[in-house]
């Protein structure tokens, strides 16, 4: 009977594109991360043309960009619970629909108010996405692959970052910046269709799952059996991770928001060359995300020590980024700055896979809620970082001062990482 069951589900319909069903889910999540980051950061490349057309200052543009993070940060506090409660399939389909509409309508903005409003809508749509994706990873993949999964999905996100500048410049050769938003919004429908095709809330209900696939599933409660969330107690356990994520997120938002403008205004490059240099820097993050996940999982398999597997990689990443951001504020040589930014971004992205794995380690039954609480730190950084960076840039006329804040926060984050305890599973009865 086992053989017939395996044959029934292990034949041609088990594999799509040569992948098992769990791997198909992971691949679609990678596409989702890539596309959502294209939608999130396309505004950075369009910024010079948009700000000139709409008459926005650096501070006003920073305010508009930060609008994304108001709902994004708020939703992190409960968005993961939504996916835990109602399932990742429906939650992510809702996200995809809203992101598509918000991106396309951005091409119709007439000034700061409408741009701010649509960035709010985009943040609302994306706010549910990554906690829900984390819940999906915790449901579909074994614990030994969690670090890899977080690394490869975020590597796809950074690939989206790197592809966005040249992609947007290419679109701008055929359309205005307004038309570019419409085209990029339609691009979002790719992953929505793929997710509708492959996803289920319970992996066991997928007809392509084999007995071996099911046996490898982690012991995470299905949503009908998930115990109630003890919100305050869980928040206290996740608070150190949230603080570290804020420090990391501040630097990431600097890269995502200001990099094309930095090359365009500080080095007086044209838009095409600014996009190419930005893409080169952001490619460093693709490698950093992948390496961070692989190294974290390897340390865990070799030692069985979650604290070492997660914390040590995070500290290495933050200290490495700290070291290589220092030359950026000490020299004006374009080649040196570009190389140092690339290496700094590589190191900062080592943080991503282990820090996203920590909430899954601590509270696998509440992976969506816990990862959302952690990602609140990133959302809060997204509110403050673009706004403060733009205001300081307008006030001083120099890129040095705002970069110094990122350098300082990297040290703070490295120190705070010692307070994370992924090796201690969450007990709702803890005081």
Read off the pLDDT of residues 381-403 as tens digits, 9 standing for 90 and up.
888 888 888 888 888 887 888 78
Asked whether residue 11 is assigned to any structural domain, the reply reads no
Nearest Cα neighbor of 165 from 49, 70, 337 is 49
315: which 2 tokens?
């500290």
The answer to the question of residue 217 being in a domain is no
CB 218 within 8 A of CB 143: yes
Cα dist from 99 to 94, 105, 414, whole Å = 9, 10, 33
Query: Do the beta carbons of residue 102 and residue 125 sit within 8 Å?
Result: yes
By residue count, the chain amounts to: 431
| Least-confidence region, from 22-31, 267-276, 350-359 | 267-276
CA atoms within 13 A on the CB side of 238: 34
Choose from 34-38, 139-143, 159-163, 230-234 the range with maximum mean pLDDT.
Answer: 34-38
- Quick check: is 226 in a domain? no
Please indicate, yes or no, if residue 130 is contained in any of the structural domains.
yes
| Domain annotation covers residue 175 | yes
Which residues face 19 on adjacent strands? 16
Burial of 7 (0-12, 13-18, 19+ CB in 10 A): exposed
So what's the pLDDT on residue 294?
Answer: 86
pTM flag (> 0.75): no
Question: What residue spans of 331-366 are helical by DSSP H?
Answer: 334-349, 352-362
Q: Rounded distance, CA 214 to CA 216, Å?
A: 5
Q: Residue 348 falls within a domain, yes or no? A: yes
Residue 288 lies in a domain: yes
Q: Measure the CA–CA gap between 88 and 202, rounded to whole angstroms.
A: 9
Q: Specify the number of domains making up the chain.
A: 1
Four-residue CA torsion sign, 297, 225, 28, 348: negative
- CA 203 to chain CA centroid, nearest Å: 24
Q: What CATH number is given to the structural domain containing 246?
A: 1.20.1250.20
How big is the CA angle at 410 (ends 119 and 71), to the nearest 5 degrees?
20
pLDDT over threshold 80, residue 221: no
Q: What is the mean pLDDT of residues 239-257?
A: 90
User: Coil, strand or helix: which one is 129?
Assistant: helix
Do the domain assignments include residue 7? no
Range of the domain at 385: 20-200+237-419
Which range has highest mean pLDDT (148-157, 161-170, 335-344)? Answer: 335-344
For residues 17 and 25, what is the distance between their CA atoms, to the nearest angstrom? 12
For residues 389 and 403, give the distance between their C-alpha atoms in angstroms, rounded to a whole number. 8
- The pLDDT of residue 144 is 77
Residue 5 pLDDT level (bands cut at 50, 70, 90): very low
Residues 137-157: b if buried by 16+ CB within 10 A, e if exposed: bbbbbebebbbbbbbbbbbbb
Q: How far apart are CA 133 and CA 62, in angstroms?
A: 28
Sign of the CA dihedral with 360 first, then 364, 369, and 373 last: negative
SS3 for 16?
A: strand
Phi-psi region of 87 (alpha: psi -120 to 50; beta: other; left: phi over 0): left
């Amino acid at each position: 009977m086992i053989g017939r069951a395996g044959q029934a589900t292990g034949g041609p319909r088990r594999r799509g594109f040569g992948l098992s069903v769990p791997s198909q889910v992971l691949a679609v999540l990678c596409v989702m991360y890539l596309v959502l980051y294209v939608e999130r950061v396309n505004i950075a490349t369009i910024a010079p043309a948009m700000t000139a057309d709409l008459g926005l200052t650096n501070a006003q543009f920073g305010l508009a960009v930060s609008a994304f993070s108001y709902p994004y940060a708020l939703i992190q506090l409960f968005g993961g619970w939504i996916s835990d409660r109602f399932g990742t399939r429906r939650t992510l389909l809702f996200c995809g629909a809203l992101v598509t509409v918000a991106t396309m309508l951005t091409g119709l903005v007439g000034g700061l108010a409408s741009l701010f409003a649509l960035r709010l809508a985009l943040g609302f749509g994306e706010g549910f996405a990554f906690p829900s994706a984390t819940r999906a990873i915790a449901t579909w993949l074994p614990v030994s692959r969690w670090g890899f999964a977080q690394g490869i999905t975020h590597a796809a996100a950074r690939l989206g970052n790197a592809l966005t500048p040249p992609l947007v410049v290419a679109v701008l050769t055929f359309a205005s910046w307004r038309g570019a938003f419409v085209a990029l919004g339609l691009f979002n429908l790719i992953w929505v269709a793929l997710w509708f095709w492959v996803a289920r809330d319970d992996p066991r209900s997928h007809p392509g799952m084999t007995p071996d696939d099911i046996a490898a599933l982690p012991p995470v409660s299905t949503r009908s059996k998930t115990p109630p969330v003890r919100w305050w107690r869980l928040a206290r356990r996740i608070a150190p991770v949230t603080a570290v994520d804020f420090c990391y997120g501040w630097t990431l938002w600097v890269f995502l928001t200001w990099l094309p403008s930095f090359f365009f205004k500080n080095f007086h490059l044209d838009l095409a060359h600014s996009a190419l240099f930005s893409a080169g820097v952001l490619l460093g993050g693709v490698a950093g995300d992948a390496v961070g996940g692989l190294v974290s999982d390897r340390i865990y398999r070799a030692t069985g020590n979650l604290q070492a597997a997660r914390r040590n990689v995070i500290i290495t990443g933050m200290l490495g980024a700290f070291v290589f951001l220092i030359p950026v504020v000490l020299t004006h040589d374009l080649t040196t700055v570009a190389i140092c930014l690339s290496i700094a971004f590589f190191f900062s992205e080592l943080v991503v896979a282990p820090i996203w794995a920590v909430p899954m380690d601590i509270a696998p039954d509440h992976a969506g809620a816990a990862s959302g609480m952690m990602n609140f730190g990133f959302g809060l950084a997204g509110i403050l970082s673009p706004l403060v960076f733009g205001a300081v840039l307008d006030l001083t006329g120099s890129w040095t001062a705002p970069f110094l804040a990122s350098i300082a926060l990297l040290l703070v984050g490295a120190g705070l990482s010692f307070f994370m305890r992924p090796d201690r599973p969450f007990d709702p009865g803890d005081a």
